Structure 1
């Protein structure tokens, strides 16, 4: 196997999502970005394929080519082990904006802080910090 990467399919707002996540994850790098061109009517300027890296974790994403919308579900989520409480609170505050809180950021067990949020694009994020 040459590689194994998650691929996230957006409904025409992948570029907006890239900007949103870049504002949250300051170590995010866009390694590759290809937009649809004029040969794909109705998709021009949308993301055909992008490869990003967040803290070394590579993720591919793009916009759907089909008119049917795809949706995200909390059954699949990104799990982040935060290095400190400030980081957990920062991600929580930014990711929940215009999204949904599935489990609020709180202490669940001695010294374990956890949150489960869905961002405005419908992607789910689990945030964990152990003291």
Structure 2
């Protein structure tokens, strides 16, 4: 069976810290499998070579790139999360925006009663929405 999963490429060995934040923030989120770089394998020992994990029950993949790139995450590719509760939306927005960049503060933008867009401190872009 052919499958597709979002893939997050971190730089500077920050993948595990990002995953720790996401697992503590979102329900039904956990590590599925992880492979770390060993000494002499091309990346800093102990960083994530490749991982599969779930966020809100959806599978993602990630890695810590040992190669320095002239690019990083961009808001044009983001993860959209619908919330049933305004309180939960506001909690997650506060957690993810800490140390990050708010692109659109929580508000009513016409297409949603309560919506916000941000880049977290790792550069990952999130669109957070109160489901109608």
Compare 55-64 and 23-32 and name the one that shifted more. Answer: 23-32
Cα deviation, residue 107, structure 1: 2.1
Match of 1:30 in 2: 31
Q: Provide the C-alpha distance between the structure 2 equivalents of 1:17 and 1:118, rounded to a whole number of angstroms.
A: 12
Mapping 1:105-124, distance limit 5 Å? 105-109=106-110, 112-124=113-125
Q: CA 1:61/1:111 → structure 2, altered by over 3 Å: closer, same or farther?
A: closer
Query: Could you say what secondary structure the match of 1:87 adopts?
Result: helix
Write the deviation string for residues 35-57 of structure 1: whole angstroms up to 9, x where unpaired: 00013255100000111112221
Provide TM-score, normalisation by structure 1.
Answer: 0.91
| Structure 2 unmatched ranges of 5 or more | none
Match status 1:7 vs 2:3: no
What's the secondary structure of 1:103's corresponding residue?
strand
Match of 1:55 in 2: 56
Between 1:93-102 and 1:109-118, the stretch displaced more is 109-118
How many residue pairs get matched? 131
Aligned to 1:66: 67
Match of 1:128 in 2: 129
* TM superposition shift of 1:96: 0.3
Of 19-28 and 94-103, deviating more is 19-28
Q: Secondary structure at the match of 1:5?
A: coil
* Distance (whole Å) between structure 2 residues aligned to residue 29 and residue 39 of structure 1: 28
Q: CA RMSD in A?
A: 1.8
